[in-house]
């Protein structure tokens, strides 16, 4: 599923290096974007949550993003911004004392700093540097460890390595930082490559985690920080649909709930449905049958179901059963139910039993 299959040994080397480190410094590239900031803060918070005794110093050699471009609730206080001479001296000291250093979202120190004095110091430190990057550039062969995987964001790698694989405890700050990074580099999942559809699942996991701690506006805050022109209601409905996503083998489905009947216009509901069908569900490689349920704006207790399939699976059969129609791979129907969730459950059950053989094989 994830991109790290080939990195299993490296991940376990990484764990012993971290366990033996008392002081860790983290760098990212200049002109930091949300993924750079998110990856750096996520790593810093994850390391701290795992071992509160370790001294972590995240360093930037220029100013941070403007406050309006940081999601509300994400704290940048731990980052040391080193612009003045006195700051760079402190950074040099931290570097010389460090047991371990990380570069995230970049793979060499010349992307980290311009100042030749400090670059010269850093260039001598690859032997204690771990690189976590997602760009094509090869990185330094002198690095202690290098995770260089070409995926959509560096933040998703941080999540895979530390949370999914090494089981470091997630915190509100690290979850928020990872989401900010993923959503920044993928522009709210719009530019998520086809073979990385599993990242939508990561987003859903992170949102459920954050909803437990502080329910509500997480995604809106991120969209706002990314300056994306989506109405708050659209973002919020999108978030809900991602959280409602259920996958069973090759079957996936979700729903947009009745809350959005008054908040969204008919064309917005339609756009959102298409976005979820074509930009997310269709791109999930393992998924062969998928659907989205949305409320009918004019008729109470009436829900519209859009069904899609890949290959030889005929979803028009199920649409016909409910008085709808369509083609083998794209069909739709309307059903009556007490809520969008009930309509979703009815469909999920129908599709699970109709396509049992296909669905349970993955």
Residues that bind Mn ion (CB under 5 A): 35, 105, 154, 185
Rounded CA-CA distance 192/227 in Å is 18
The percent of the chain in helix, strand and coil, each rounded to the nearest 5, is 50, 15, 35
The nearest distance, CB 105 to Mn ion, in angstroms, is 4
Rounded CA-CA distance 207/310 in Å is 29
The nearest distance, CB 227 to Mn ion, in angstroms, is 17
* Closer CB to Mn ion, 151 or 318, in the complex: 151
* Closer CB to Mn ion, 179 or 237, in the complex: 179
The nearest distance, CB 172 to Mn ion, in angstroms, is 22
Q: In what order do the strands lie in the sheet with 100-104?
A: 80-81, 55-60, 23-28, 100-104, 129-133, 145-148
The nearest distance, CB 278 to Mn ion, in angstroms, is 25
Cα dihedral 27/34/170/235 (nearest 10): 180
Closest residue (Cβ) to Mn ion? 35
Which residue carries 């298409």 as its tokens?
274
* Closer CB to Mn ion, 154 or 235, in the complex: 154
Residue 178 CB neighbour total at 10 angstroms = 33
* Closer CB to Mn ion, 45 or 316, in the complex: 45
Strands 289-295 vs 302-309: parallel, antiparallel or unpaired: antiparallel
The nearest distance, CB 153 to Mn ion, in angstroms, is 6
Rounded CA-CA distance 106/224 in Å is 25
The nearest distance, CB 154 to Mn ion, in angstroms, is 5
Q: CA distances (Å), 120 to each of 81, 115, 126, 188, 192, in order?
A: 19, 9, 11, 38, 37
* Closer CB to Mn ion, 29 or 217, in the complex: 29
> Which alpha helices (H) appear in the chain, and where do they start and end?
8-19, 34-50, 85-97, 116-123, 154-158, 172-186, 198-213, 218-225, 232-244, 260-263, 266-274, 316-321, 340-354, 356-359
DSSP of 103-123: EES-SSGGGT---HHHHHHHH
* Closer CB to Mn ion, 39 or 244, in the complex: 39
The nearest distance, CB 29 to Mn ion, in angstroms, is 8
* Closer CB to Mn ion, 154 or 359, in the complex: 154
* Closer CB to Mn ion, 154 or 250, in the complex: 154
The nearest distance, CB 134 to Mn ion, in angstroms, is 6
């Amino acid at each position: 599923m994830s991109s790290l299959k080939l990195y299993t040994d490296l991940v376990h080397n990484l764990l012993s290096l971290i366990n033996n480190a008392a002081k860790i410094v983290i760098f990212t590239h200049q002109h930091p974007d949300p993924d750079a900031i998110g990856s750096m803060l996520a790593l810093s918070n994850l390391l701290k949550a795992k071992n509160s005794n370790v001294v972590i110093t995240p360093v930037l050699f220029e100013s941070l993003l403007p406050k309006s471009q940081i999601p509300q609730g994400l704290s940048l206080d731990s980052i040391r911004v080193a612009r003045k001479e006195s700051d760079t001296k402190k950074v040099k000291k931290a570097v010389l004392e460090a047991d371990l250093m990380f570069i995230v979202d970049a793979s060499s120190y010349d992307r980290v700093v311009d100042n030749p004095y400090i670059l010269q110091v850093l260039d001598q430190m690859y032997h204690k540097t771990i690189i976590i990057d997602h760009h094509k550039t090869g990185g330094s062969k002198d690095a202690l460890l290098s995770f260089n995987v070409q995926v959509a964001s560096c933040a998703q790698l941080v999540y895979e390595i530390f949370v999914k694989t090494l089981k470091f405890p997630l915190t509100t700050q690290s979850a928020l930082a990872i989401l900010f990074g993923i959503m920044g580099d993928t522009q709210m999942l719009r530019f998520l490559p086809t073979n990385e559809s599993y990242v939508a699942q990561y987003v859903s996991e992170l949102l459920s985690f954050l909803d437990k701690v502080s329910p509500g506006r997480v995604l809106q805050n991120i969209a706002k920080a990314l300056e994306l022109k989506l109405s708050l209601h659209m973002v919020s409905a999108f978030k809900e649909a991602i959280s409602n996503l259920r996958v069973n083998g090759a079957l996936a489905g979700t729903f947009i709930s009745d809350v959005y009947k008054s908040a969204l216009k008919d064309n917005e509901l339609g756009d959102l449905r298409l976005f979820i069908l074509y930009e997310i569900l269709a791109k999930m490689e393992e998924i062969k049958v998928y659907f989205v349920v949305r409320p009918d704006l004019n008729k109470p207790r009436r829900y519209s179901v859009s069904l899609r399939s890949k290959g030889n699976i005929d979803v028009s059969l199920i649409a016909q059963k409910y008085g709808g129609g369509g083609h083998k791979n794209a069909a739709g129907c309307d059903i009556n139910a007490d809520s969008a969730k009930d309509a979703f459950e009815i469909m999920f059950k129908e599709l699970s039993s109709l396509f049992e053989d296909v669905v349970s094989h993955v």
